[in-house]
Amino acid sequence: MAVEGRLYRPVIDHETCGRCAVCRGACPAALLPEQRRETDSLRGRVFPVEGQASVAGWPPASTAPNCREGCPLHQEIDQIMHLTAAGKVREAAVLLRSRNPLPGVCGRVCPHPCAAACTRGRVDEPLAIHLVESFLAAASAADAAMAAELRGRAGAGRREKVAVIGGGPAGLAAAHYLLLHGCRVEVFEADHQPGGLPAQVIPAFRLPAATIAEDLDFLRQLGLQIHTGIRFGRELTWEQLQQHGFAALLLAVGTQRPRPLAMPTAVGEENGRLDCREFLQRCKNREELPPGRHILVIGGGNAALDAARAAVRLPERRVAIVYRRRRQEMPAAGEEIEQALREGVELITEAMPVQPVVKDGRLAGLVCCRTTAGTGSETPPALLPDSEFTLAADLLVTAVGLQFDPTALGLPLQLDQEGRAAVDPVTRETSLAGVYAAGDMVSGPSTIVEAMADGRRAAAALLGRLRTAGESV
Ligand SMILES: Cc1cc2nc3c(=O)[nH]c(=O)nc-3n(C[C@H](O)[C@H](O)[C@H](O)COP(=O)(O)OP(=O)(O)OC[C@H]3O[C@@H](n4cnc5c(N)ncnc54)[C@H](O)[C@@H]3O)c2cc1C
């Protein structure tokens, strides 16, 4: 913020202002009205005070700091950082946990878009927001009084019950929102543990089981009821839930079906191919894997990197990633790629698998073709003629994306053109009345924080509908 003309008159330089609010604490004139309680001077008119005109151009369209804008959850990162810096750790943790049901998980594996937006990054490097998040999550993990305080804020309880299907980031965020707004909510999860993909597939060297357990324990302390080992569509139906008094259903079952790998000859699990989700689950649960020395991972996203980094930790395995575009076009986080290379994973870019080599019914190699680089992310790269080469391969791990599988739910849900669950963008209702949906099953593969933000949006729309229905009764 520059000071121009009359003494203390602040002029916001929109080119450089990141709305980080550091000026609030740093300004020796303590110019902000809410701090000075002054409403009738130029200084007092910098920020709008009720009934007064504001300085031209301020506030901008969004007054939220860049980090908060960058976070899909719109977490109050600026305030959390200020409170933590001031030693008000408990207040900071309350703010964090009021919006984010999985702060420990996010501290570890969120791609932290907040840091990418951090104003400080323009000077040297972004603030380490994720480390503060991890610290606050750990510091408050066992704070039963904090859980009681948050629960107490929910106010008078609503009589309607809501069932959330799926205990992943989207489902937990929806349930957390509904719970903290006074709803009676129960989560039904097919797996033996909640947590969704982060719990099921993200390797422990990136996300320790204890971190997930701490987040889930806090949610239970909040009073969230999570039933595990119940698969909706098999052990439970919408009709049964309605008979048990549930007024609404929120589906957040994620994506389950691996996208097929475009190759003329299919390689099945029996002869040496595993989907990355299955592979990571087996690694995590220490289950048996197909024998062999050479593991090829196909794909360039975070899932491919997780698979390669888990594979390279197995004894006596050589691991390579095959990706069709250039390294700079890989969707995976740059630091993950660096780590994988340091750990001994080979990276083969601008290459596409075209044909498996099968000997005695088992995979023995993979014929690949060079691709044209730099064709942009919209069009698939073309194969270069006469550029074939063969890689040794005993196991092919495919990480080319997951899709929503509508068949397992037993509901006649309408799908969009991409095969995702179709929802009304405003009401968040699916094609079935009273049935809402959120997370990856609606958006396609995303990230933990995006899935949580979507869960909250759907829960807010659902709650709005319940309130309207309640008022009209
Ligand atoms: C290998 C891999 C690594 C990843 N790494 C990261 C990362 O580092 N950072 C990041 O931000 N994102 C990462 N992601 C993406 C992230 O995990 C997902 O975007 C996010 O988990 C989606 O949340 P969700 O709640 O929509 O779905 P999910 O996490 O898939 O949760 C859905 C839940 O529903 C349950 N369920 C399914 N069917 C039923 C049913 N019929 N009845 C009851 N329950 C059911 C499932 O068991 C699951 O627990 C990764 C994804 C993969 C595959």
Mean pLDDT across 123-151: 94
Cα-based torsion angle of the residue sequence 338, 307, 112, 107 in order, rounded to the nearest 10 degrees:
-110
Q: Whose CA is nearest to atom 49 of ligand 1?
A: 196
Choice among 13-27, 53-67, 333-347, 397-411 with the minimum mean pLDDT = 53-67
Identify the CA nearest to 78 among candidates 37, 108, 120.
Answer: 120
Share of the chain above pLDDT 90, in %: 66
Please count the other Cβ atoms lying within 10 Å of the Cβ belonging to residue 301: 19
User: Measured in angstroms, how far is the CA atom of residue 398 from the centroid of ligand 1?
Assistant: 17
201-219 tens-digit pLDDT: 999 999 999 999 999 999 9
Average pLDDT along the chain: 86
In a domain, 147, yes or no: no
State which of 63, 79, 100 marks the end of a domain. 63
pLDDT of residue 52: 40
pLDDT(124) > 80: yes
**What φ, ψ does residue 320 adopt, rounded to 5°?**
-135, 145
Return the SS3 of 391.
Answer: strand
Which has the higher per-residue pLDDT, 8 or 25? 25
Q: Whose CA is nearest to atom 20 of ligand 1?
A: 448
In a domain, 149, yes or no: no
In a domain, 182, yes or no: yes
State which of 18, 37, 63 marks the end of a domain. 63
**What φ, ψ does residue 227 adopt, rounded to 5°?**
-95, 125
pLDDT of residue 259: 82
DSSP state, residue 121: G
CATH assignment of the domain containing 270: 3.50.50.60
Same domain, 54 and 130: no
Same domain, 45 and 74: no
Q: Whose CA is nearest to atom 35 of ligand 1?
A: 166
Same domain, 266 and 382: yes
pLDDT(36) > 90: no
Same domain, 342 and 275: yes
CB 42 within 8 A of CB 20: no
Same domain, 326 and 395: yes
User: Measured in angstroms, how far is the CA atom of residue 455 from the centroid of ligand 1?
Assistant: 12
In a domain, 152, yes or no: no
Same domain, 265 and 363: yes
299-322 tens-digit pLDDT: 999 999 999 999 999 988 899 999
Same domain, 171 and 47: no
Pairwise CA distance, residues 431 & 73, whole Å: 26
CB 248 within 8 A of CB 434: yes
The whole domain housing 206 covers: 159-256+404-472
User: Measured in angstroms, how far is the CA atom of residue 140 from the centroid of ligand 1?
Assistant: 25
> Whole-model pTM?
0.88
Number of domains in the chain: 4
Residue 107 Cβ contacting ligand 1 at under 6 Å: no
pLDDT of residue 49: 40
